[in-house]
Structure 1
Amino acid sequence: MTELRDKTVRALKWSYLGFFVNLVFTPLSTALLSRLLTPGEFGVVAIASVLATFGAVVTELGVANALVQRRDLTPEHIRAAFTSSLVLGVVLTAVMWWAAPLVGNYTGNPDVVPVFRGFAATYVVASLALVSTSLLRRELRFKPLMAAEVGGYVIGHGVLGIGAAYLGFGAMSLVISAGASWAIQLAVSYAYVRHPFALTFRLAPYRDLYSFGVRASVLRLLEFFSGNMAVFVIARVFDAAALGLYRRAFDVAGMPVMRLSGGLLRVLVPSFSALQDQPGRLRRAYGSSLLALSSVLFTFSAGLFVCAPEIVRVLLGERFLAAVPIVQAFALYVPFPILANVAAIVAEATAKLDIKIALQVAQMLFLAAAFWVVTRLGLGVVAFAWVLVAGAVLNSLAYVGVAARILPGSGRESLRAYGLGLTAGLGVGAVLFAVVAGLRAAGTGVFVLFGLELVVGGLLVALVVFLGPDTELRRYALRVWQPAAARLAAWRAQGHT
């Protein structure tokens, strides 16, 4: 178990590093792209990329999760996973290419067609990378995974995507960046895991993978439709510019935190899977993970809500000002699906996917009914965001019950984690609001104010981490800080001699 803990800590370290690198580059690329592309072009990309993601989910057919979760994995399983993902990638590319005009008719926007086809063309590259990235996750080798993701983001999205937008490629520039990002991830991950590019058509390994993978795919499809239902409705009811505002607001509010939490959750899947036969240890790991994430997520949420006007002005520009209330809604949304995912990973690691499927169906029904009401009342896109907030809160509470059912006694730990997180968020929000309100009243320039918000917010987050509950995140932060503090003290001492 010591070896597993050490691997998990190293994986968390690389996840944190990847997050902070992305935290530097994401605002820069967001600010540049928002000044090179219009809200309407972002709306075209939103509907095309969401539908393309649907194909990617089908292409995977759950084999990625099966490769991570399965106890005994043979070379034949790996070949079966590669065959499945490649064949489905080719088939789905052809199907989505043919279906692109239907999407254009649904949205009433012919500009969607070439962009949708461009995203569909990335399926094959993504399918080639699936096995190697899944094997790295299984082995908790997150250093190459983070190198692949960061390299793909910086080169694919940063250099090629922004360069294409500057050259006038419009919405297609994001297709170019997505394709380049997948190609870089494939090259880096395969350099570390050289599994054979070999096909197999024996039925036995497919049965082993799909016994778990098919249910995982059904679950991912349900999650896809729940998470993107608002996009489908907005694309039908409103114009591309309104959809562009909605998606950019979600990206600004959720992307940094989602990247951090996504990295952490990828670490937790193999770690929790390794403890699936040890409920006591799994319960402790679940409680510690939930507590660490809750304290950080609600703190970020409060900061995003208070600073939304400056975030939109600096990162998106004046033509996206209508996105401010949407950003504030999504700021409150972000913590809940991520915290629910911690409990969902417990269900996945113990192969209890039926519970997850039932909850996803319930969430879909709630969202469908709520969006119908919003549409009938003629409300704007801000209302769609608040519906997602309500759905996320209810789903998160339901998953507290799921964790308590799988791990008896964890319900109290879950409520404690949520309570401490909410308390930290409210405290940080109150302090930050008092500081920011005074600076706004004093007429501080937007860029100066944004910089001060980053500094004050960063200090408050650090206080929450260092002074908060004892979790793996706090222990890791202390291990990093103590040598740095010692070197700083030595440097200051030398300066006085």
Structure 2
Amino acid sequence: MSSDQPPPPDPVPAAKPGRSLTQKTVSGFIWSAGGNAAQVVLRMLVLAVLARLLEPSSFGIVSAALIVISLLEVTGQVGTSQAIIQRPDLEPRDIHTAIGFTALTSCVMGALIFVFAADIAALFDMQGVEPAVQLLALAFPIKGFSVVSEALLQRWMQFRRLAGITLASYIFGYALVALTLAYLGWGVLALVYGQIAQTVLLSLCHIVFTRHAFGFGFHWHTLKGLLFFSGGVSLARFANFFSNNSDNFIVGRMLGAEALGFYSRAFNFMMMPVGLLGSVLDVVLYPAMSSIQTEEERLRRAYLLVVGLIALTVMPLSAVMVALGPEMILVVLGPNWTAAILPFQILSACLLFRIGYKANTILARAKGAVYRSAWRQWLFAALVVLGAWAGHFWGTSGVAAGVGLALAAQFLMMLDFGRRLTSASLGDLARIHARHLTVALLTGGSAYAGAALLRSYEMPALVVLIAGAAAAGVTMLTVQVLAPKLYGEEGDWILDALLERFPAAKKLLPRKS
């Protein structure tokens, strides 16, 4: 008998009988988005405080150390968690073998990084990186024991539980520890111990909620099957690691810890909405798309809907972030971080490229086309290295521009790949993005106009930010009233989801005729 669902006496509480895949996906999207939105707000508040307690160089040191830990995650987990989610039929030996393998490799990799921390730190030529790498490497094996548990919760579509775990671990792990230690003057170690505390809490919660399925084992035939799929995932993840971190490495190595502090904060601030939507896409859509991977027409419609949802949410947000970038940096990070403004605006202009290609990588994993996706990821990584290196001669803004060009190329390449996997037409994809580009230009233009007017009167940054955001919000509502067709099918999908939750709002929201 398959153990795809956990056995008694510990059933999964969220599986309501009779719910369709669409209902589960919508519910998962709402819970994941809500949890991630709350975490984004908290991250901004925590970052605002930490940026005033710590020097930019402290963030640069931790960013350098986290590059090493990110490589550990890719190497130590070898993509087995994704194989657990994608596997059509899951047996206890699959789970136990995956847990045993990831735990073993994580322990080995953590020990190696701890021993060779001095040599690794020398690559960055930056004081303070070695102890940060050693401490984070010691905590890494803990995550290795829980990564399969997290994958099981995703497979079972326990999105409400996952959102709660993630939010709680951030509040009581990173935020509580990092803020307390930073206030007490621990400097860079405040950020390090905050990361460790969050990892420990997150891992323990994942294990506790899947304890009925948790166990260790080793079955060579099972491991070979898992590794065949996860090998392609790992190739793509290695490429993703280099594309996500090579710019930070080049900035740290060529421009120093302070420049890396400015660049990494601009990058991470821009990545907050990416993390909000990107993780929701990964957690919710991957299991949903995997379950319909053989239903071509249904998968095509789902793919076009996802592309539209990304464009609807990301393109106007990107325009607003560019228009209000100076105020966002001043309000959140403070006046000592003005060097991060232009890199932040450049990276924000590429927000669609950063998030948009994720739908295609998720689709490739769901269809099992991981090796065909991997070489595209490696090409992207090479473009990021080239763009970041060429751009560093013009400082952090040049690096941001070089990375932006690489992102644009990757987005177009992966969009074409997704079209081929689903038989979607170029016309459909072009029309979707043209509609939402129109909305983005209107939204960003109204935000910029409002901000420019208030800047001319030298109003405080917070007032300018609130007014600009309000102008953008009013513009989006006006589009819904006067030209709802610009939002398309994806706009109707969001309205349906909202009206299902808040039926009293039905009279207030006009619909397309």
TM-score (norm 1): 0.93
Matched, 1:475 2:496: yes
Question: Pairwise mapping of residues 361-400 of structure 1 onto structure 2 (< 5 A)?
Answer: 361-375=378-392, 378-400=393-415
Determine the C-alpha separation between the residues in 1 that align with 2:476 and 2:262.
Answer: 28
Q: 1:448 aligns with which of 448, 456, 463?
A: 463
2:201 to 179, 184, 204: 184
Q: Secondary structure at the match of 2:238?
A: helix
3-state SS of paired residue (1:72): coil
Residue matched to 2:371: 354
CA pair 238-85 structure 1, distance change in 2 beyond 3 A: same
Work out whether 1:313 is the aligned partner of 2:334. no
SS at 1:162 equivalent: helix
Equivalent position SS for 1:73: coil
CA contact 2:304–2:424 (8 Å) conserved in 1: no
**In the aligned structure 2, how far is the partner of 1:393 from the partner of 1:328?**
15
Which of 252, 256, 270 is equivalent to 1:253?
270
Report the Cα distance in structure 2 between the residues aligned to 1:143 and 1:196, rounded to whole angstroms. 19
Q: 1:71: which partner in 2? A: 88
Measure, in 2, the Cα distance between the counterparts of 1:124 and 1:6: 36
1:32-52, CA deviations, whole angstroms, 9 ceiling, x for partnerless residues? 010111111111011101111
1:252–1:108 distance in 2 versus 1, CA, 3 Å:
same
How many pairs are equivalent?
A: 486
- Residues 97-145 of structure 1 deviation map (CA, whole Å, 9 limit, x = unaligned): 1121113222222300111112212211211221111001111110110
SS in 2 for 1:121: helix
Cα distance between partner residues in 2 of 1:16 and 1:234: 32
Superposed structure 1 runs of 4+ greater than 6 Å apart:
none
- The offset of 1:422, in angstroms, is 1.8
The answer to whether the 8 A contact 2:243-2:380 is kept is yes
Q: Shift of the alpha carbon at 1:484?
A: 5.0
**Cross-structure match for 2:175:** 158
* 3-state SS of paired residue (2:436): helix
Amino acid at match of 1:436: A
Task: Report how far residue 84 of structure 1 moved.
Answer: 1.1
Contact 1:129–1:182 (CA under 8 A) maintained in structure 2: no
CA separation of 1:458 and 1:100: change in aligned 2, threshold 3 A: farther
Please tell me the residue identity of whatever aligns with 1:246.
Y
Consecutive unaligned residues in structure 2, runs of 5 or more: 1-17, 509-513
1:109 and 1:339 mapped to 2: Cα distance? Answer: 34
1:284-303 aligned at under 5 Å gives the runs 284-303=301-320
The alignment's C-alpha RMSD in Å is: 2.0
Deviation at 1:83, TM superposition (A): 0.5
How far apart, CA to CA, are the structure 2 residues paired with 1:460 and 1:86?
Answer: 51
| 1:56-78 per-position Cα deviation (integer Å, ceiling 9, x unaligned) | 11111101110111101110000
SS in 2 for 1:71: coil
Stretch moving more, 439-448 or 450-459: 450-459
Residue 413 of structure 1 pairs with residue 428 of structure 2 = yes
CA distance, structure 1, for counterparts of residue 475 and residue 208 of structure 2: 40
Please give the alpha-carbon distance, in whole angstroms, between the structure 1 residues aligned to 2:296 and 2:456. Answer: 54
Q: Distance in 1 between matches of 2:105 and 2:321?
A: 39
Alignment partner of 1:103 out of 102, 120, 125: 120
Cα offsets for 1:348-396 (capped at 9, x unmatched): 1111112211211221232333334335xx3211111111111111111
Matches within 5 A, 1:198-347: 198-347=215-364
Give the Cα separation in 1 of the matches to 2:196 and 2:471: 37
SS at match of 1:470: helix
Amino acid of the structure 2 residue aligned with 1:239? G
Measured in 2, the distance between the counterparts of 1:459 and 1:478 equals 20
The change in CA–CA distance for 1:169 and 1:485 in structure 2 (over 3 A counts) is farther
Q: Report the counterpart of residue 493 of structure 1 in structure 2.
A: none
8 Å contact from structure 1 (residues 144, 189) kept in 2:
no
Q: SS of the residue aligned with 2:20?
A: helix
